[in-house]
């Protein structure tokens, strides 16, 4: 009897899980791309150049995440956005594209000055480039020189510092403001034994996820798109 109940329970679980995590085949991928907004030409070229010019080109947000970030900006209607970690500027430009207020802009901070020529090249090519204010430096330090608060923060810099970024960012957003944190599933390494290769980053992301989960001041949801995004709303 118990066996039968367990088998039934497992079948329900399997069905539930299939519903939650549908396998994205290349055919489904193509289908999705036919049914969402196209990737703007400039961003398509920026993504391509990110892969050609840089070893870690895959760090650029890309088509799906770029459209999602733009949609969040449309929904939140922020006057000011802060981005930690510009890389080549893909997400900064995608978010700038979503800005509704004519005065609104994106502050984006990048530590690696070798990226600056590529970022500036594409800011000039994009019709939204003038809405992006690039700051080269360490985000923990640069934030203090900038004029907050920001209604939306996109956290995407050094994974080792996520717990610290969270603390700083919460201080710089108003009640009702949002933080979107990228890479929070870290290729699935947030569960199971700690991998040796990038133990510090993995542990920091685990710590960050636990801190957010236990923080009563914020509402949070996880979107398992790409490497995982946590959407956080500051309630008080």
Footprint of ligand SAM on this chain (CB under 6 A)? 59-61, 85, 87, 90-91, 109-112, 138-139, 156-158
Angle between helices 199-214 and 162-171 in degrees, nearest 10: 40
**Are the beta carbons of 177 and 234 closer than 8 angstroms?**
yes
Residue nearest to ligand SAM (CB): 85
Q: For residues 90 and 128, which CB has a smaller minimum distance to ligand SAM in the complex?
A: 90
Q: For residues 61 and 202, which CB has a smaller minimum distance to ligand SAM in the complex?
A: 61
CA distance 109 to 81: 11
CB of 233 to ligand SAM, least distance (A): 21
Long-range contacts from 18-27, C-beta under 8 angstroms, 24+ separation: 21/224
Angle ∠(126,132,135) on CA atoms, nearest 5: 130
Q: For residues 187 and 219, which CB has a smaller minimum distance to ligand SAM in the complex?
A: 187
CB of 87 to ligand SAM, least distance (A): 3
SS3 category, 118: helix
- Count of CB atoms within 10 A of residue 207's CB? 13
CA distance 138 to 144: 11
CB of 55 to ligand SAM, least distance (A): 11
Q: For residues 135 and 220, which CB has a smaller minimum distance to ligand SAM in the complex?
A: 135
Q: For residues 4 and 145, which CB has a smaller minimum distance to ligand SAM in the complex?
A: 145
- Count of CB atoms within 10 A of residue 189's CB? 18
CB of 90 to ligand SAM, least distance (A): 4
CA distance 84 to 162: 10
Q: Could you tell me which residues are beta bridge partners of residue 234?
A: 218
CB of 179 to ligand SAM, least distance (A): 14
CB of 143 to ligand SAM, least distance (A): 9
Q: What are phi and psi of 84, to 5 degrees?
A: -100, 110
Q: Which residues contact 137 (CB under 8 A, 6 or more apart)?
A: 109, 111
**Are the beta carbons of 175 and 148 closer than 8 angstroms?**
no
Q: For residues 98 and 175, which CB has a smaller minimum distance to ligand SAM in the complex?
A: 98
Q: For residues 76 and 122, which CB has a smaller minimum distance to ligand SAM in the complex?
A: 122
CB of 38 to ligand SAM, least distance (A): 18
């Amino acid at each position: 009897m118990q066996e039968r109940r367990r088998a039934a329970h497992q079948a329900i679980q399997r069905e539930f899980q299939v519903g939650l995590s549908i396998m994205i085949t290349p055919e489904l991928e193509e289908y999705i791309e036919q049914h969402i907004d196209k990737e703007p030409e400039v961003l398509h070229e920026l993504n391509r150049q990110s892969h050609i010019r840089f070893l870690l080109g895959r760090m650029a947000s890309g088509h799906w995440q770029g459209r999602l970030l733009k949609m969040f900006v449309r929904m939140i209607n922020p006057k000011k956005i802060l981005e930690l970690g510009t890389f080549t500027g893909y997400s900064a430009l995608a978010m700038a594209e979503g800005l509704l207020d004519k005065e609104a802009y994106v502050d984006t901070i990048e530590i690696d000055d070798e990226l600056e020529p590529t970022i500036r090249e594409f800011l000039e090519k994009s019709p939204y480039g003038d809405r992006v204010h690039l700051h080269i430096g360490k985000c923990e330090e640069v934030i203090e020189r900038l004029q907050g608060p920001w209604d939306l923060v996109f956290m995407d810099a050094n994974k080792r510092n996520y717990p610290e970024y969270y603390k700083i960012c919460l201080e710089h957003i108003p009640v009702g403001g949002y933080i979107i944190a990228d890479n929070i599933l870290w290729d699935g390494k947030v569960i199971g034994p700690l991998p040796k290769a990038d133990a510090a980053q993995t542990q920091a992301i685990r710590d960050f996820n636990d801190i957010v989960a236990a923080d009563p001041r914020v509402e949070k949801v996880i979107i398992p798109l790409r490497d995982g995004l946590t959407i956080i709303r500051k309630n008080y």
